[in-house]
Amino acid sequence: MYKTILVPVVFDEDKDHAKVLKLATSLGASDAKITLLHVMEQLPAYATSYVPEQASANLRVELQKEMDKLTRDLPGVDGKIVDGHSGRTIVNHAKKNDVDLIIVNSHQPGFGDFILGSTAAYVVRHATCAVHVVK
């Protein structure tokens, strides 16, 4: 059983988090610490002039509301929203917090990333702990 589990989440309309949350609770020890992590990617510098100044702050508020809804009825589950590059931020967070399992969702493959999504592929290649990929 795992003691510290990291579950990266994305708040796209078509994402159902039930499967990964069920998996995290079933793989975790009874006193496991489960963290849901959403990474807000930064806009490229050339695009920032086209986006209203408060857009990022407003988005963070909305994402926090979604995270609070997701974690409200899950005892022992913490939700965090951080800035950064998705793959690197997930791997770095796992290292800094002694995570022993990352459960990452993969999306349906597209032309550019045929087997895993690019974030899932990065996490699988660079994580120093166990990684469970959910299709």
Instruction: For 86-113, write each residue's pLDDT tens digit.
Output: 999 999 999 999 999 999 987 655 544 4
45-49, 60-64, 92-96: range with highest mean pLDDT: 92-96
Coil, strand or helix: which one is 133?
strand
Q: Return the pLDDT at 97.
A: 97
Residue 77 has pLDDT above 60, yes or no: yes
Please tell me the distance from the alpha carbon of residue 129 to that of residue 126, in angstroms, as a whole number: 9
> What number does CATH give the domain 2-134?
3.40.50.620
Low-confidence winner among 31-45, 49-63, 84-98 (lowest mean pLDDT): 49-63
Q: Return the pLDDT at 129.
A: 98
Confidence grade of residue 46 (pLDDT, cut at 50, 70, 90): confident
Q: Return the pLDDT at 108.
A: 57
Q: Return the pLDDT at 62.
A: 94
Q: And the tokens for 39? A: 């990474």
Average per-residue pLDDT in the chain?
87
Please tell me the distance from the alpha carbon of residue 86 to that of residue 128, in angstroms, as a whole number: 16
Q: Return the pLDDT at 109.
A: 53
Residue 49 has pLDDT above 80, yes or no: no
